[in-house]
Chain A
Amino acid sequence: MTHRKDAWWIAPFLTVLGFGAFIVYTTWAALQGEHYWYGSYLSPFYSPLLFIDSSAAGAAPLEHAWFGSWPTWWPAMLPSSPALFILMFPGVFRFTCYYYRKAYYRSFVGTPPACAVGALPRKSYLGETALLLFQNFHRYALYPAIAFVFILYYDAVLAFFHDGRFGIGVGTVILLTNATLLGCYTFGCHSFRHLVGGRLNCFSCDKQTQLRYGTWKRVSCLNERHMMWAWISLFWVGFSDLYVRLCSMGIIHDFNTWGF
């Protein structure tokens, strides 16, 4: 299969481990439907809050819901978790992301597992021309993803105000960092890079294209480290949820200036 002598399998192995852990944790956390709120902190998995089931433990106050209390049409067999309404958006964005595609094509389907290592045998290889044609819609996943960055920034700003009082806590720092990291990941997206300037053939032609060139250059800087942002923001968003969750469950204590 290969004559490589180095440990080529480490990277795909770690990828499987990392993604696996994240998927398992996210699914579990999303299905909880409780302990996503603590003080003024909202877990990023649950933002925006479209509906709120106030009866759940550690739920946010009802005034934070965009559309009010939990809908009656919601099937009883599903947990009443606000995360279920919204997680698909960042999920699809990440699933169709050019970096994640590389990562899971390599580590989960082995086309190829690593460079110059034989691809796992399959009947025929069609790339992204047949079933995977939907990957071309990545840019439509980008638009909501951009909205999410702003929503999460909004949440982070709100977190600084507990009962109308300004304050700073470990949680506020975590949530602000989370929004920033997601921003670095989202605004370094290949589709975004294309839309802001990459599609042009002449950057210097007029004022507008020159402006777009400047933006494209900055996006390109983020894009060069897209993989890094993808991983850090993935880890951090999970960590943010965990932090809020553990505080809400009373397992850990949040250090803050409000003194609760």
Chain B
Amino acid sequence: MAKRIFNIWRGDATGGRFVEYHTDVDTGMVVLDVVHRIQAEQAGDLSCRWNCKAGKCGSCSMEIDGKPRLACMTRMDTFSPSATVTLQPLRAFPILKDLVTDVSWNYQQNKRIPPFRPRPRDADGRYRMQQIDVDRIQEFRKCIECFMCQDVCHVLRDHSRFDTFVGPRFMIRLASLAMHPLDALDRIPAVRKEFGSGMCNITKCCTEVCPEQISITDNGIIPLKERVVDRFFDPLMWVKRNLLRRSA
């Protein structure tokens, strides 16, 4: 069997370059298997994050032929046998080494989000919710924090607005709290002001790359934007909220 060619970015924060590797590819192999084979046979110190190798943990995010993908879920038979496959680290985040980036900014953003604050329990000490009420947020909670949506979001990737926009991953985390039937905290003003919902221009790349097929834009960010409109841009809602409610 002919060797396949891989162009892998090697280097660290100070710089780097693409290095070409030639290796065999067996039936059913995914890109992560290739990385492991290259580590074992040619480059023991080739850095790459991974954990579960089953698409459940979101560790092995990298850019494969220029697009963010999970290396463990990208089958080699999706490429033409003669094609060179390019592997490089996520571009939106600082490089640590080779295919590994520093994603700590994301953890800082998560910490900024006020935690879930449930309403009191029912009289018998239980909480009751219907499945139809939790379907929406369960979609968001499928997120495996691979941070590929953060990587592909041009607000972060191209415009580096890390100061004003929290990114798609945390927009849907906010959505999962804002739509939670038990959550008692008003999060809408913060969604607009602190987390920057207005920075998103709904160009939907986050949705395109999501390995969990979460409709980040349609089901998460746009509904949040609409809730922001309810609160800040809709005089009818203002009247309903402030005048009608009080007289009722």
Contact = CB atoms under 8 A, between A and B. Distances in A.
Given A116-B152, A201-B181, A111 B201 contact: yes
A112 B154 contact: yes
Contact of B201 (A3, A128, A223, A224): A128
A4 B64 CA distance: 8
A127 B201 contact: yes
Contacts of A136: 225, 228-229, 232-233
Given A115-B208, A128-B201, A191 B67 contact: no
A33 B129 CA distance: 58
A83 B68 CA distance: 46
B199 A129 contact: yes
A194 to B, nearest CB: 4
Interface string B37-76: 0000000000000000000000000010111100000000
Nearest to A124: B159
A102 B199 contact: no
Contacts of A226: 218
A232 B209 CA distance: 26
Residue among A124, A203, A223 with max Cβ neighbours from chain B (10 Å): A203
A37 to B, nearest CB: 37
Given A190-B222, A204-B132, A115 B158 contact: no
A105 to B, nearest CB: 5
A119 B159 contact: yes
A125 B161 contact: yes
A139 to B, nearest CB: 7
Contacts of B212: none
Interface in A101-137: 101-102, 105-106, 111-112, 114-116, 118-119, 124-129, 132-133, 136-137
A13 to B, nearest CB: 16
A202 B131 CA distance: 10
Interface residues of A, number: 43
A231 interface: no
Contacts of A191: 226, 229
A217 to B, nearest CB: 9
A132 B130 CA distance: 38
Contacts of A208: none
B203 A102 contact: yes
Nearest to B130: A204
A213 B132 contact: yes
Nearest to A120: B158
A199 interface: yes
A70 to B, nearest CB: 35
A116 B68 contact: yes
B227 A199 contact: yes
Given A2-B66, A118-B158, A201 B200 contact: no
Contacts of B155: 125, 127
A48 B63 CA distance: 52
A115 B205 contact: yes
A194 B225 CA distance: 10
A224 B218 contact: yes
Interface in B181-229: 181, 183, 196, 198-205, 208-209, 215, 217-218, 222-223, 225-229
B33 interface: no
A5 interface: yes
Contacts of B83: 5
7 nearest interchain CB pairs? A3-B66, A4-B66, A115-B205, A127-B199, A194-B226, A125-B159, A204-B130
Interface of A: 2-6, 98, 101-102, 105-106, 111-112, 114-116, 118-119, 124-129, 132-133, 136-139, 190-191, 193-194, 198-199, 201-204, 213, 223-224, 226
12 contacts: A4-B65, A4-B66, A5-B65, A102-B203, A105-B201, A112-B205, A115-B205, A128-B199, A136-B225, A138-B229, A204-B132, A204-B133
Given A2-B66, A125-B199, A127-B200, 13 more contacts: A6-B65, A116-B67, A116-B68, A125-B154, A125-B161, A129-B199, A136-B233, A194-B227, A199-B230, A201-B180, A201-B181, A203-B130, A203-B132
